[in-house]
Amino acid sequence: MCGIAGYFGTRPLSGAAAEAMFAAIARRGPDANHAVCWRDGQRGSEPAGAQRALMHARLSIRDPRPEADQPMGNADGSLWICYNGEVYGWEDERRALEAQGATFRTTSDTEFILRGYEAWGIEALLPKLRGMFAFALLDLRSGTLHLVRDRMGLKPMVYHHDEASRTLAFGSLVRSVLPAVPPAERDFDPEGIDAYLAHRTIPAPRTVFRAIRRLENAHRIEFDLASGRLTKRRYWQPTPNGRDPAEVLDEAVRLRTVADRPVGVFLSGGIDSSVVASRLALQGYTNIESFTAGFDDAAMDESALAAQIAASLGLPNNRIAMASDVSGDFEQVVADLDEPFADPSAFPTWALAREVSKSVKVVLCGDGGDEMFAGYKRYRQHLRSAWRRHLPAAAALRPAGNVTPGKAERLRLEASLSWPDAWSLRFSGFSATEREGLQPVLGRVPAHRWRAAEIGNTDPLGMLLELDRLNYLPEYILRKADLTTMAHGLEGRAPLIDHVFVESLASLPSGQRFTQPAKAWLAGRCPPCQSLGLLTMKKRGFNPPIRALVREGLAARLPGFGARLSHASDGQLDAAAIEQYVEAWRKDGSLSEGLLQLLMLDESLRQLGRLRSAIHG
Burial class (CB within 10 angstroms; exposed 0-12, middle 13-18, buried 19+) of 88 = buried
Quick one: 65 and 192 in the same domain? yes
Q: Does residue 505 form part of some domain?
A: no
Same domain? For 445 and 552 the reply is no
Average pLDDT, the chain: 92
Phi/psi for 376 (5° steps) reads -80, 145
One domain, residues 228 and 88:
yes
3-state secondary structure at position 151 = coil
pTM for this one?
Answer: 0.95
Residue 607 counted as domain residue: yes
Please check whether residue 344 lies inside any domain of the structure: no
**For residues 515 and 458, which has the higher predicted lDDT (pLDDT)?**
515
- Asked, for residue 496, whether it belongs to a domain, the answer is no
Give residue 393's domain range: 378-459
Average pLDDT rounded to a whole number, residues 241-251? 97
H helices of 571-615, where?
A: 575-587, 592-614
Considering the domain architecture, whether residues 100 and 215 belong to the same structural domain is answered as yes
What's the pLDDT score for residue 396? 46
Rounded to whole angstroms, the Cα distance separating 573 from 582 reads 14
| pLDDT, position 393 | 46
39 and 185 co-located in one domain: yes
Same domain assignment for residues 74 and 223: yes
- CA–CA distance, 574 with 506 (Å, rounded to integer): 47
Q: Which residue has the higher pLDDT, 420 or 147?
A: 147
| 155-159, 200-204, 421-425, 480-484: the lowest-pLDDT one | 421-425
Name the residue type at position 52. Answer: R
Q: Which residue has the higher pLDDT, 397 or 318?
A: 318
Residue 103 lies in a domain: yes
Select from 305, 298, 294, 297 the least CA-distant residue to 270.
305
Residue 168 carries which side chain, given as an amino acid letter?
L
* Of the listed ranges 2-6, 309-313, 425-429, 504-508, the one predicted with least confidence: 425-429
Structural domain total, the chain? 3
Does pLDDT of 509 surpass 80? Answer: yes
Q: Are residues 101 and 205 in the same domain?
A: yes
- Of 459, 485, 510, which marks where a domain is finished? 459
Residue 482, pLDDT > 70, answer: yes
C-beta separation of 602 from 564 below 8 A: yes
What does the pLDDT look like over 385-432, one tens digit per residue? 888 755 544 444 555 556 666 666 677 777 778 888 888 888 889 988
- Is residue 454 one of the residues assigned to a domain? yes
The answer as to whether 571 is a domain residue is yes
Last residue of a domain, one of 459, 475, 508: 459
Whether 80 and 215 share a structural domain: yes
Of 428, 459, 490, the residue that ends a domain is 459
Tell me, yes or no, whether 429 lies in a domain: yes
pLDDT digits (tens, 9 = 90+) for 91-130: 999 999 999 999 999 999 999 999 999 999 999 999 999 9
Q: How much of the chain, in percent, has pLDDT values that exceed 70?
A: 95
Q: What is the pLDDT of residues 18-67, one digit of tens each?
A: 999 999 999 999 999 999 999 887 888 888 888 999 999 999 999 999 99
Q: Do 444 and 575 have their domain in common?
A: no
Query: Tens digit of pLDDT for each residue in 53-74?
Result: 999 999 999 999 999 999 999 9
Residues 447 and 555 in one domain: no
Q: How many CB atoms neighbour CB 614 within 10 A?
A: 10
Q: What pLDDT, on the 0 to 100 scale, is given for residue 617? A: 58
Distance CA 21, CA 54 (A): 11
Task: Report the CATH number that the domain containing residue 20 is assigned in CATH.
Answer: 3.60.20.10
269: DSSP letter: S
Check pLDDT > 50 for residue 365. yes
- What per-residue confidence (pLDDT) applies to 131? 98
pLDDT for 164-194, tens place per residue?
999 999 999 999 999 999 999 999 999 999 9
Alpha-carbon dihedral sign for residues 118, 120, 121, 122: negative
What's the pLDDT tens digit per position in 433-452? 899 999 999 877 776 778 87
pLDDT of res. 404: 63
196 and 93 in a common domain? yes
Decide: 524 and 274 in contact? Cβ < 8 Å: no
